Each structure stands twice: as structure tokens, then as C-alpha cells.
Chains A and B, each alone.
Chain A
Amino acid sequence: MNEKLRHYIDDLFANAPSTVRAVELKEELYQNLTDKYNDLIAEGKSEESAFNIAIASIGDVDSLISGLSGEKRTVNEKERKRSALITAIAISLYILSPVPVIALQDEIGMIFLFLFAAVATAMLIYNGITHERYVKTDDTMVEDFKEWKQNSKQKNKAVEAIIGSFWLIAVCVYIVVSFMTGAWHITWIIFLIAAAISSMIKGLFMLKQ
């Protein structure tokens, strides 16, 4: 109906996330400004001045967007501490995993190494998946945006967990193959192959996104 007004509001909301809340606000603003514009025209104003008066009455839209963000954002401190603890334990398990091999000097030591590594990896993956999801505190576009951002970060974490466990498997394969064949001079090639596969996994995920 009023293309000029529509364009102006489209520009105002150009950087707003495309959420239901933002779209509704935009629609509401457009509708109200059109009403105002039509009233001004009916009063005998020129199109130019009616448009100018209408857009002047919008005020500070940035304050509208940021004002909606709300200060009640709660950071889940407990959740974060738990996550840090799980990561710390997992890492120390990795570091400690060769100890049984050195101490026992036989296959049982190797079994313990793999066991340590398996538990540590399981912990990291669990942590990556269950890590605090951003739950929006109120239904505003800023909160919608934060949730969206957090969710995409979550996806990256899943990829990281997969790559992490993949490398661990590569190490296991390297050690097992080397022990069984005794061909230590050549088995290091396994790591080159692993690097290639890891890049491929990353590439596949990027393509999917």
C-alpha cells in the first residue's frame, strides 16, 4: 500500500534476527505508521510531510530492541562448574593413561590404557552434548538471537567431540597394529591417513551446514 513506508521499516529491521517476535513487531509498527500516515493525509498534509512526521514519531528503535533484552539473564554457575570438573577429570585420565603400561609392562597395562582413554572420551562427549543450552529468559528477539547463536555453537561442539574420539581411535589403531606387526618404522603412516580422514569429516559437516 505504502511502499515508501514499507521500505523504510524494512531497512530499520534489516539487522534484526528473523524471528516470529521481530516479524510481529515489524508488522505492528508498519500497521500503526500506515494508520498515522493515512490520518495525516486526511488532515490535508502532503504525502512528503505525512511520511516525515510518521517516521519522526518512531523514535529510537535501537532502544526498543536492546530495551527488550531484559536484565534477568541468568548464567548457570553450577552447570558451568560441573562441566569444568568433567573436562578436568577427563584430561587427567588421558594424561594418566600410559601409567599402567609403564608400571605393569604387559598386556594388562595396555588394557588399562585403553580403558582410561575410553572413559575419558566418553566423559568429554557426554559433556559436549549435555552442556548448558542457552534457554531464553524472555520471548524477545535479542533472546531469540542468543539462543540461535548458542545452538549453532552446540553443533560445532558435536563435531569437535567426534573429531576428538576419532583421533583417539587412530592412536589405538596405531599402537595395536604396531605391536602386532612390529613394523614401527612404517606404521606412523596411520597418522597421515587419520589426518586426511579428520579433514574430510570436518568438510562433510561444513557442507551439511
Chain B
Amino acid sequence: MSVASELIRGNTETIILAQLMKGDGYGYMVNKAIFNLTGGKFELKEATLYTAFRRLEDAGCIVSYWGDETTGARRRYYSITDLGRESYRLRKKEWETAEAVIDKLLAEGEKGVSK
């Protein structure tokens, strides 16, 4: 599991961008969606989440604004930019390339077993 979460962590920013492609969201909302999508197996730490948000914001991939909730405290919403959409597509393509390469390389082991 630790290796798996390590692999997932490497794609934190892409995962967040994928969530924001669907529409604006705030921190807990994004994290909850990730939690539900993975059937409760994976969840980002708050610190990891905000570090990723800040990095994406600095890179111009997302912008943030404070919502004006009438009840309770205000939430900070994040919105994906055109640059962010482009970045998402690039990152996704990169992942698919890496996935294909790793699949091919790891499949070699199976050949040895079948003999």
C-alpha cells in the first residue's frame, strides 16, 4: 500500500486538476470526491492538498477566490484556468505513456513464470 500511495502522491496535482475540470471546488470538497472515488482507500493529507494548491496557483494552473456563504465561515474556492486544462491534458498523456512503458517492462516477469 505504501508503494501504491507513493505512486499516487506523484500525481497529486494531476488528480486535483482532474477534479477541478468538472467545476470549481474547495479543499474539502475536492478531497472528499477523491476519497469517495477510491472507495475510501485514498485521501490526501491537508498539508499535501494545500501545498499542491499553492504550487498549481503559482504556476497559473488554477486561481482561487473566497466564496460568499451566507451561513457559516467563508470557503476558498479554486477554479481551473486554460493553462491548467492544457497542463492536465499534458500530464494525463505523460501518465499514459509511463503506464504503457511500465506495463511492458513488468510483463517480462510473467514470461519467466510461464516457462
Most chain B CB atoms below 10 A, which of A35, A58, A68: A35
Minimum CB–CB distance for B77 against chain A, Å: 10
Contact of A29 among B50, B51, B72, B74 (CB under 8 A): B50
Contact of A32 among B27, B58, B72 (CB under 8 A): B27
Q: Which residues of B contact A68 (CB under 8 A)?
A: 51, 54
Cross-chain contact B45 with A57 (CB below 8 angstroms): yes
Cross-chain contact A35 with B28 (CB below 8 angstroms): yes
Q: Which residues of B contact A28 (CB under 8 A)?
A: 26-27, 50, 75-76
Main SS of the interface on chain B?
helix
Asked if A34 lies at the interface with its beta carbon under 8 angstroms from chain B, I say yes
Asked if B43 lies at the interface with its beta carbon under 8 angstroms from chain A, I say yes
Total count of chain A residues near the partner, CB < 8 A = 27
Minimum CB–CB distance for B24 against chain A, Å: 15
Q: Which residues of A contact B72 (CB under 8 A)?
A: 1
Minimum CB–CB distance for A44 against chain B, Å: 15
Q: Which residues of B contact A138 (CB under 8 A)?
A: 58
Distance between Cα atoms of A57 and B31 in the complex (Å): 11
Distance between Cα atoms of A145 and B9 in the complex (Å): 29
Distance between Cα atoms of A108 and B112 in the complex (Å): 98
Q: Which residues of A contact B50 (CB under 8 A)?
A: 25, 28-29, 64
Cross-chain contact B45 with A60 (CB below 8 angstroms): yes
Contact of B47 among A34, A36, A60 (CB under 8 A): A60
- A60-B47, A63-B51 known; 8 other A-B pairs, CB under 8 Å? A28-B27, A29-B46, A31-B74, A32-B28, A59-B45, A63-B47, A67-B51, A70-B58
Interface residues of A (CB under 8 A from B): 1, 24-25, 27-36, 39, 57-61, 63-64, 67-68, 70, 138-140
Shortest Cβ-Cβ A-B pairs, 7 listed = A59-B45, A59-B47, A32-B28, A64-B47, A35-B28, A32-B27, A58-B46
Can you list 11 A-B contacts with CB-CB less than 8 angstroms, sorted by A residue number? Answer: A31-B74, A32-B27, A33-B46, A34-B73, A36-B28, A57-B45, A57-B46, A58-B46, A60-B45, A60-B47, A64-B47
